Copies of this chain bind each other. A is one copy, B any other.
Amino acid sequence: MRADIDRLMTARDLQAIVVTGGEHPNTPRRYLSNGLDIHNGMTVKKRGSAPVLIVGGMEMEEAAKAGLPIVTYMDLDWIKLIQEADGDRAKAFVLLWGRLIEKLAIPPGRIGLYGVGDLNVWIERVPQLNAAYPDHPIVGDASDVTLFDEAFLTKDEDELRVIREVAAKTSAVQQVTWDYISGHRAEGEVVVKPDGSPLTIGDVKRFVRRALLDRGLEDTDMIFAQGRDAGFPHSRGEEAMALRQGVPIVFDLFPRQIGGGYFHDTTRTWCIGHAPEKVQAIYNQVMTAFQIAVDHYAEPGQPTHSMQEAVLDYFESQGHPTQRTQPNSTNGYVHSLGHGIGLNIHESPSISHLRKDDIFQKGNIITIEPGLYYPEEGIGVRVEDSFIIDHDGNLVSITDFHKELVLPLKG
C-alpha cells in the first residue's frame, strides 16, 4: 500500500525516489501522484515527505488535481539552464537535477530511480548525473520484487473500492456481450446479422469497446479468439472471422479505467448454439481445475506455487502435457495459474510452479485462470475470475458473471 512506501524506502536505504514519466505514463508514477497521469515531468518523494510533482508550466492546472506540492521547470530555471548549457539539453538536464536536489533539500544518500523512460536517453544520462552529484548516487532496483512491486502487492480500502467498481462494470459488459451475440440467428453454421451478412469478431469487439466506453472503461487489446486461434492463448483473434456455431471462443477481457487506472481481468469460453462432446469434456476439466484451485487456498502466508501444483497434478492425471512436464509444448496446460492485478495487468504475486517465494497476502488482488489448448484440434478453453484476499484472509471472487459454456441463439 502507499502507506508502506517510507518503510520500503528505509529498507532499501533510499533518501529519495525519483519516478520518471513524461510521454511514458507508468503505474509507479500514477501511484505516487495520487492517481494523476501527466504526460510530462517526474514525481519525486523524499523519505518521510509527501511526493512532489515536477512538471512543465503548462501542466500546472492538471497537476493541481493531485493535491500534492508542485514544482515547475520554470521554478528550477529550466530556460536559463538551457542557455547556460549553450543549448545542450543533455547538459541542461544535469544542471536541472542539481537544482532539484537543492530545491527539495534532499539529504546526501541514495536516490532510487523508477518509472519508465527512453533507455537510449537514460543509460547515457545516469552516469552523467552520478559523476556530477557523487553525494546522491542513483541506484536501480532489478530485484524480482521491486519497491513498487512490494507496494502494489496489497491494496488499501480506497483502491479496493475502485477495483470492485471496475469488476462490476466489466461483468456487466460480459453480460451485454453474451446478450448481443445471443440476439442473433444463424444461417447454417455461421452467425449472421439481420441483413444476412456474417457477424464477425470485429463486430463483437466494436460492440464490447462501446459497452466499455459507456461505463468509463477502456479496452486494452481484448482476446476474442475462435477455433484454432483459441488454441493459442495470446492470439487476439481475427477481426474478419465470422462467428460460427459449435466452435470454442475464448473471450479474455482485461479493461481498465479510461486513461489508465485499475484493471479487471476475466475470461469466459463460449460455444455458440451447441458444444461438441470433446469441447464439453475439456471444459468440464478446466472448470474442475478452477474449483481445485479455489479450494486449495488456505490462508495468508501460504505459498502460491502450491495452488498451481494442485492444478498441475490434476491436469497431468488427466493425461495433458503441462508447463511442468513439457515446458516447450503448445498443447495442454501451457501457462501459469494466475497473477496479481491492480494498476498493472500483471503484478506480483505470481501463481506459478517456478515462483517459490511468492505468498498469498491480505489485500492481494489476483486472477485464477486455468486453461487447456489443442490448436490443431481447433480447441482452446480458459476460465478466469479475479479475486480479493480480504481483511479476514478469505479468497473472494469479484467477477460476477456466469460460467455457462453454450451460448444459445435466440435471434
- Which residues of chain A have a CB within 8 Å of any CB of chain B? 20, 23-24, 26, 39, 57-62, 74, 79, 82, 87, 89-90, 112-126, 138-144, 146-147, 206, 209-210, 213-214, 221, 229, 232-236, 259, 327-328, 330, 334-335, 344-346, 354, 356
A124 touches B140 (CB 8 A): yes
A140 touches B123 (CB 8 A): yes
B356 touches A87 (CB 8 A): yes
Partner of A23, one of B57, B87, B346: B346
B141 touches A120 (CB 8 A): yes
- Nearest B-chain residue to A79, judged by Cβ: B327
B144 touches A121 (CB 8 A): no
Which residues of chain B come closer than 8 Å to A26, judged between CB atoms?
24
Q: Give Cα A124 to B112, complex, Å.
A: 11
Q: Give Cα A26 to B206, complex, Å.
A: 24
A117 touches B120 (CB 8 A): no
Q: Give Cα A222 to B222, complex, Å.
A: 23
Choose among A57, A118, A146, A210 the residue with the greatest number of B CB atoms under 10 Å from its CB.
A118
CB distance from A46 to the nearest CB of B (A): 18
Which residues of chain B come closer than 8 Å to A210, judged between CB atoms?
210, 213
- Nearest B-chain residue to A233, judged by Cβ: B58
- Nearest B-chain residue to A260, judged by Cβ: B221
B221 touches A213 (CB 8 A): no
Q: Give Cα A209 to B122, complex, Å.
A: 35
B116 touches A232 (CB 8 A): no
CB distance from A374 to the nearest CB of B (A): 14
Which residues of chain B come closer than 8 Å to A114, judged between CB atoms?
118-120
B235 touches A62 (CB 8 A): yes
CB distance from A225 to the nearest CB of B (A): 9
Partner of A113, one of B120, B141, B144, B354: B120
Q: Can you list 25 A-B contacts with CB-CB less than 8 angstroms, sorted by A residue number?
A: A20-B119, A23-B344, A24-B116, A58-B232, A58-B334, A58-B335, A60-B232, A61-B232, A61-B235, A62-B234, A79-B327, A82-B354, A113-B123, A116-B117, A117-B117, A117-B119, A118-B146, A119-B119, A120-B141, A121-B146, A124-B139, A124-B140, A124-B142, A125-B142, A209-B213
A140 touches B116 (CB 8 A): no
Which residues of chain B come closer than 8 Å to A59, judged between CB atoms?
234
Which residues of chain B come closer than 8 Å to A233, judged between CB atoms?
58
B57 touches A236 (CB 8 A): no
Partner of A115, one of B74, B119, B235, B356: B119
- Nearest B-chain residue to A20, judged by Cβ: B119
Which residues of chain B come closer than 8 Å to A335, judged between CB atoms?
58
A144 touches B58 (CB 8 A): no
- Nearest B-chain residue to A17, judged by Cβ: B120
- Contact A120 B112, CB 8 Å, known A23-B344, A62-B234, A235-B61: yes
Partner of A122, one of B119, B146, B232: B119
CB distance from A349 to the nearest CB of B (A): 15
- Nearest B-chain residue to A55, judged by Cβ: B234
Q: Give Cα A60 to B235, complex, Å.
A: 9
- Contact A142 B113, CB 8 Å, known A58-B334, A229-B61: no
CB distance from A140 to the nearest CB of B (A): 4
CB distance from A411 to the nearest CB of B (A): 22
Which residues of chain B come closer than 8 Å to A82, judged between CB atoms?
354
Q: Give Cα A229 to B62, complex, Å.
A: 10
Partner of A140, one of B57, B60, B120, B138: B120
Q: Give Cα A73 to B116, complex, Å.
A: 23
Which residues of chain B come closer than 8 Å to A344, judged between CB atoms?
23
Partner of A123, one of B122, B209, B330: B122
Q: Give Cα A206 to B216, complex, Å.
A: 9
CB distance from A152 to the nearest CB of B (A): 13
Q: Give Cα A123 to B87, complex, Å.
A: 26
CB distance from A331 to the nearest CB of B (A): 12
CB distance from A77 to the nearest CB of B (A): 10
